[in-house]
Structure 1
Amino acid sequence: MTDHSTINHIVSIAPIAGRISFARLDGTQSIGLPELYEMAGRLARRLRERGIGPGDRIGILAANSLEWVLLDLAALRLKAETAGFEPGKFDPDDQLTTCYHVKLLFTDRPTNAPGTVPIGEVRALAEGPDGADAEPLPPVTWAPRDVTTIKFTSGSTGTPKGLGATVGSIDSSLAAVQEIFEHKPGDDLFVFLPLSLLQQRYWIYSALAHGHDVTISTYEAAFAALRRVEPTVVMGVPAFYETAKRQIEARLRRADGTETLQQVARRMFGDRIRYLWTGSAPAASAMLRFFTEAGLPIYEGYGLNETCIVTKNHPGASREGSVGKVLRGKKVLLDEDGVISVHSDHPVGYGYAYAAPGDSERVFGRDGSVRTGDLGYVDEDGFLFIRGRADDVIVLDNGKKVVIRPIEESMRSSPAVAECVLFCPTQTDLVAVVSPATVPADRDGIAAQLSLTNASLAKDERISRVVVAETPFSIEGGLLTSQYKPKRKQILDAYRAEIHDSKEGIHAA
């Protein structure tokens, strides 16, 4: 892997083309990738003067920014590790730096903790001139099993677990993606999820290696920036596209026949879209069909923090309802119950670096294979289908096993429903907690979808009633992860009384 390593390429060879842009609500700023490379080198020299070297770890706790990118690339140039801490999940205090063995923590949050540096200082360090006696950076070579960064799980099941990501896993994933999507000069990949999520940084590495553009934004600024930036590829989670779908549908209604679906969709996403990428959470078939019909092909994939990208639909190999074919370097294994394990030629790791006792043993095999906890099957043509989580199979008191994901997806197909999570408080009937798509909630629309969903289900699978959340689930409210996945335990805790109150909610007819 070293001979064809993207990571080794980008730390040793300056790019000759491409640009990186940062799109905010108040505008977009861009710099060329050659300049970015030079700035990262200067920052690396400044960090080395502060004692950062191979094997040391710097932490980054900040919103997406040029400074975030420069710190990540400078660490790669020094063969130092990064730890990307997501704002809202971690606090910039001495407990953080001690727990995660961070030598310097760069943050945009107020703090007086020792070892912390305001991230606003980074740009000046990267732009300042080198002294006449400045030593060049020594060449570095990353081996496949070397760890570049500590990444953290979404926290949907509790405290985020920390995992050291290997160079081999990053290189293998990027090579497999490049093989099927062929990102090249002229492409502009639009990224808006936190850079603390390693996969978002993949596309920066890809730009440096292949000479295409990349635009970094935030979720809050994404819709405002899309038309202005006009990317060719958008990297988004299903919740983002569900929101976009509702906005497009609303604009179509206002247009009253004067514009087509394709015209309205292009007005939102720009005229250069080549394809849309989605993953990280289940995507509804209705949403995927909507964008394909709008002339914006969208491709769903599958992967975990512990595995990197495993499968992906792509041009020439896409099947509705599936998460795609297995990528080169990965194997999908199914046990007798249909629980998926993933074997990688280059594993992300062989256990968690930070987790509760027993967590690693429950997930990782000795060979680096990962037990995902997801239920699925592979069809005759090699497409993987996910049926749900093994932990989310509800067993009723009559022994009936109910896989809840298809039922939740059916409820989410309504424009009135943003999220749906099923519970079974008495082991006899199913109760849904729904996050409304509008405020105030469209209770009639939710009730209509409840009737439609139940009409397609067997008696034991039907939802008896729906609890409508007072306010939509949000990251800030603690009920969604940073990738906009519902946190089941937290939702259960928040609505436990309503779930157990048989008089509460919208009842099935």
Structure 2
Amino acid sequence: MAEQSTGPVPGLTTPPDVVSTIALTRCQDTAHRIWFREEDGMRSLSLAELDRGAARVACRLHAAGVRARDRIGIMSRNRIEWVLLDLAAVKLGAVVAGVEPGRYEPEQVIADFGLTLLFTENEPERGAVRDIGGIRGWAQDEGTDPAALPGREAYDPADVFAIKQTSGSTGVPKGIEATVASVNRSMAAVQEMFHHGDGDNLLVFLPTRFLQQRYWIYSALVNGHDVTLADRITVFEVAQAVHPTVIMGVPGFYEQVKARVEAAGAPADPAARRAAVQAELGGAVRYLWTGSAPAGRTVLDFFNDCGVPLYEGYGLNETCIVAKNHPGAVRVGSVGKVLPHKRIRFDKDGILIVGGLDPVNTHYTWCGPGANEKVYLPTGEVKTFDIGHVDEDGFLYIDGRVDDIVTLSSALNILVPAVEERLREIPEIHDCAVFGDGKPYLTAVVSPAAPDTDPESLADAVSRLNEQLRYEQRIYAVVVAGERFSVDNGLLNAQFKLVRAEIGRVFGEDLDLVYQKHAVYNDGSTDGAPVLVTAAVGRPRTQKAEE
């Protein structure tokens, strides 16, 4: 494929310095609030109260030795203390590293990122490890005068603002130092598309350790609207209580909403379906936002066809938002038009390359050997390893990936060869191919070790393996092929490697039936036993695929 490219729109101005505004300006907004749920119900603070509390926390952090450019870590679920700490760090010019709770040893996180302090929950205080539960008391301490916070200069655009960490499910976790300029540029682009303001309430329930989720809190402080903090377990309850106008979610969440509406008897009439969807989400939604993983067309149509806009977009940790559907520029099935400050091109292999003004960064700070060279080009551009195209009207489409990473609808990435290797250890399995891109869970097409393989025995073996895997790696259904994968039937290539696309095509109907029958929303919120593995019988294929 010949190289194609689109570039930033000429004449772009410098975006508003949102970061310095939050750092240096005292918020006086008493009309808008941040809402959050606690054990005894919903609570809220005015944005002025939130800002004042964050300044008090900043004073206490300063007294503990935290200075500009120092790094503090937060390893906790979503809670108001997370927000207070993050905003306090902004006021000090410190750098926040959001870390997935329960996955890493605190001392290792401190060493890896060079942290001054690490705030955790359910951990005893020791050394640099602090209990995040004490932050509320710091914020409410009227003996701490926010005005006593030492003065400082505005951020430089090149300053490091936050540390972004990848999940590590595709290899060694990688850390990226996101610049102030990238945050300001991305937030300006989002605001230009969606015009968040008075009357809006943005519901944030994805983990605040992801930097983009914190954008909506920063937006509230500078653009004047409400914001609500929740999590995946409480999201529906919170939505009913606060009536959000905007919800940010991954495709798996909207699959869950769709399933809830259908379980109650989804009406065919679009207006009635719209009312049913709105009832699930609090009744005031003006639009829904999705990204991070591919959204299926049936899910997109379910919402868009009934007048509840679900806008899909595209981005990576390494690039932030690249493209987004938005009011006035929508093409369902695409991920929208490329943002004005981004530049994309396709290399000779059709792989999407992303660059542009104010990149997140031009390298990983923490990564395994070879990761920087694989992803970041000498030009500073990011090689996405996604295949796509741009239509005649400028809408970007993501057609698939060139590697073996599957992205679930919950936005979790899984390196499937590692899972396949474990499956091949099961005596009943000769070979296998794992699927699930854009789906709520993984499935496997299995080449049996013997023609008379017992499906129930195989299912039991896979269930036992699941107990040893992380929840996103678990196989929730198995399709048993009627014959072994081979070069002759086109399911292996001449090097006896899986022809994954052909396996997916041959067994596509079987896989579709599995997902229709078992519409599980696997959000990993519990550690219970996995869904019973269901074995189906795939259609045999005896003719080799055409070259």
TM-score bracket, normalised by the shorter chain, equals 0.7 to 0.9
Give the deviation of 1:2 after TM superposition. Answer: 7.2
- Distance of 2:19 and 2:522 partners within structure 1: 38
State how 1:108-127 maps to structure 2 within 5 Å. 108-127=121-140
Tell me how far apart the structure 2 counterparts of residues 390 and 115 of structure 1 sit (CA, whole Å).
42
Kept in 2, the 8 Å contact 1:78–1:140? The answer is no
Structure 1 residues 135, 369: closer, same or farther in 2, change over 3 A? Answer: same
The separation in 1 between residues aligned to 2:54 and 2:325, in whole angstroms, is 34
* Contact 2:478-2:536 within 8 A present in 1 as well: no
Of 36, 39, 54 in structure 1, the residue corresponding to residue 50 of structure 2 is 36
Distance in 2 (alpha carbons) for counterparts of 1:296 and 1:147:
38
Describe the SS at the equivalent of 1:4. coil
Query: What residue number does 1:232 align with?
Result: 245
What residue is the counterpart of 2:414 in the other structure? none
TM-score normalized with structure 1 length: 0.80
The 3 A distance-change label for structure 1 pair 74 and 458 is closer
**1:367 lines up with 2:379 in the alignment:** yes
Q: Identify the residue that residue 475 of structure 1 maps to in structure 2.
A: 524
Counterpart of 1:216 in structure 2 is: 229
Residues in 2 aligned to 1:263 and 1:442: alpha-carbon distance in whole angstroms: 34
1:99 deviation in Å?
1.8
1:262-298 C-alpha deviation (Å, 9 max, x unpaired): 2211111122111000000000011011011232111
- Aligned partner of 2:362 in structure 1 is 350
CA distance in 1, matches of 2:477, 2:111: 48
Contact 2:388 2:398 in 1 (8 A): yes
SS of 1:148 mapped into structure 2: strand
Which amino acid letter does the alignment assign opposite residue 219 of structure 2?
S
Asked if structure 2 preserves the Cα contact closer than 8 Å seen for 1:238 and 1:279, the reply is yes
Mapped to 2, the partners of 1:104 and 1:223 lie a distance apart of 34
Q: How has the CA–CA distance of structure 1 residues 22 and 461 changed in structure 2, closer, same or farther, with 3 Å as cutoff?
A: same
| Partner Cα distance (1:122, 1:442) in 2 | 44
User: For residue 74 of structure 2, what is the aligned residue in structure 1?
Assistant: 60
The answer to whether the aligner puts 1:48 opposite 2:62 as a matched pair is yes
DSSP 3-state at the match of 1:35: helix
Match of 1:263 in 2: 275
* Equivalent residues in 2 for 1:229-308, closer than 5 Å: 229-252=242-265, 260-308=272-320
Tell me if structure 2 keeps the 8 A contact 1:226–1:270.
yes
Equivalent pair of 1:162/1:355 in contact (CA under 8 Å):
yes
Aligned to 1:449: none
Q: Given the superposition, is the C-alpha separation of residues 43 and 392 from structure 1 closer, same or farther in structure 2, using an over 3 Å criterion? A: same
SS in 2 for 1:82: strand
Q: Which moved more, 1:203-212 or 1:12-21?
A: 12-21
Question: Could you give the per-residue CA deviations for residues 449-473 of structure 1, whole angstroms, max 9, x where no partner exists?
Answer: xxxxxxxx98982118659799975
2:156 aligned with 1:152, yes or no? no
Indicate yes or no: 2:441 matched with 1:419.
yes
Against the structure 1 CA distance between its residues 2 and 91, is the aligned structure 2 distance closer, same or farther, given a 3 Å change threshold?
farther
- 1:21 and 1:243 mapped to 2: Cα distance? 23
Aligned partners of 1:11 and 1:140 also within 8 Å: no
Rate the CA distance shift 1:237–1:384 in 2: closer, same or farther, 3 A. same
Tell me how far apart the structure 2 counterparts of residues 133 and 220 of structure 1 sit (CA, whole Å): 35
Distance in 2, matches of 1:275 and 1:256, equals 21
Q: Does 1:89 align with 2:103?
A: yes
2:333 match: secondary structure:
coil
8 Å CA contact 1:41–1:137 kept in 2: the answer is no
Distance 1:459 1:303, change over 3 A: closer
DSSP-derived class of the 2:400 partner: strand
Aligned partners of 1:206 and 1:228: how far apart in 2? 22
**Distance between the aligned counterparts of 2:128 and 2:41, measured in 1?**
33
Instruction: Give yes or no for contact 1:323–1:385 (8 Å, CA) kept in 2.
Output: yes
Q: Does residue 1:380 correspond to 2:411, yes or no?
A: no
- The structural deviation recorded for 1:27 is 2.2
Q: Which runs of 5+ in 1 are unaligned?
A: 395-403, 413-417, 427-432, 436-440, 445-456, 480-490
When residues 291 and 149 of structure 1 are mapped into structure 2, their CA distance, relative to the original with a 3 A threshold, is same
Partner amino acid, structure 1, of 2:93: K
For 1:256 and 1:325, locate their aligned partners in 2 and report how far apart those are by CA, in whole Å: 31
| AA at the equivalent of 2:259 | R
The one-letter code of the counterpart of 2:296 is: A
Residue type at the aligned position of 1:383: F
**For the structure 1 residues 81 and 142, does the alpha-carbon distance in structure 2 shift closer, same or farther, using more than 3 Å as the test?**
same
Contact 1:241 1:287 in 2 (8 A): yes
Residues 1:380 and 1:24: Cα distance change in structure 2 (over 3 Å) = farther
The whole-number CA distance in structure 1 between the counterparts of 2:150 and 2:161 is 18
Does 1:462 pair with 2:506?
yes
Name the structure 2 match of 1:486.
Answer: none
1:20 maps to what in 2? 34
Letter in 1 for 2:49: E
Give the Cα separation in 1 of the matches to 2:254 and 2:66: 41
Q: CA deviation at 1:91?
A: 2.8
Offset of residue 424 of structure 1: 8.4
CA distance in 1, matches of 2:129, 2:14: 34
Task: Describe the SS at the equivalent of 1:260.
Answer: helix
Q: Which stretches in structure 2 are left out of the alignment for 5+ residues?
A: 1-12, 407-432, 449-461, 467-475, 480-500, 541-547
Q: Secondary structure of the equivalent of 2:233?
A: helix
Q: Is the 8 A contact 1:24 1:218 kept in 2?
A: no
Specify the alignment match of 2:337 in structure 1: 325
- Mapped partners of 1:460, 1:123: distance in 2: 51
Tell me how large the CA RMSD over aligned residues is.
3.6
2:255/2:521 contact within 8 Å kept: no
**Partner Cα separation in structure 2 for residue 131 and residue 202 of structure 1:** 27
**TM-score w.r.t. structure 2 length?**
0.74
Q: Check conservation: 2:204, 2:228, Cα contact below 8 A.
A: yes
| Distance in structure 2 (CA, Å) of the matches to 1:112 and 1:15 | 32
Distance 1:2 1:65, change over 3 A: farther
Q: Which moved more, 1:19-28 or 1:205-214?
A: 19-28
Hey, what's the Cα distance between the residues in 2 that align with 1:443 and 1:333?
38
Distance 1:137 1:3, change over 3 A: farther
Letter in 1 for 2:349: D
The alpha carbon displacement at 1:362 in A equals: 0.8
**Deviation at 1:132?**
7.7
Question: Conserved in 1, the CA contact under 8 Å of 2:247 and 2:287?
Answer: yes
Q: 2:184 corresponds to which residue?
A: 171
CA distance in 2, matches of 1:146, 1:274: 35
In structure 1, how many angstroms separate the alpha carbons of the residues matched to 2:187 and 2:257? Answer: 27
Q: Relative to 1, partners in 2 of residues 1:251 and 1:82: Cα closer, same or farther, differing over 3 Å? A: same
Give the structure 1 partner of residue 201 of structure 2: 188
Q: Partners of 1:181 and 1:133 in 2: how far apart?
A: 33
> Could you say if the C-alpha distance between residues 409 and 125 of structure 1 is closer, same or farther in structure 2, counting changes exceeding 3 Å?
closer
Q: Distance in 2 between matches of 1:359 and 1:60?
A: 25
Task: Name the CA shift for 1:506/1:41 in 2 (closer, same or farther; >3 Å).
Answer: same
Report the equivalent of 1:106. Answer: 119
1:441-460 maps to which residues of 2 (within 5 A)?
Answer: none
Letter in 2 for 1:206: S
How many Å separate the matches in 1 of 2:502 and 2:385?
A: 25
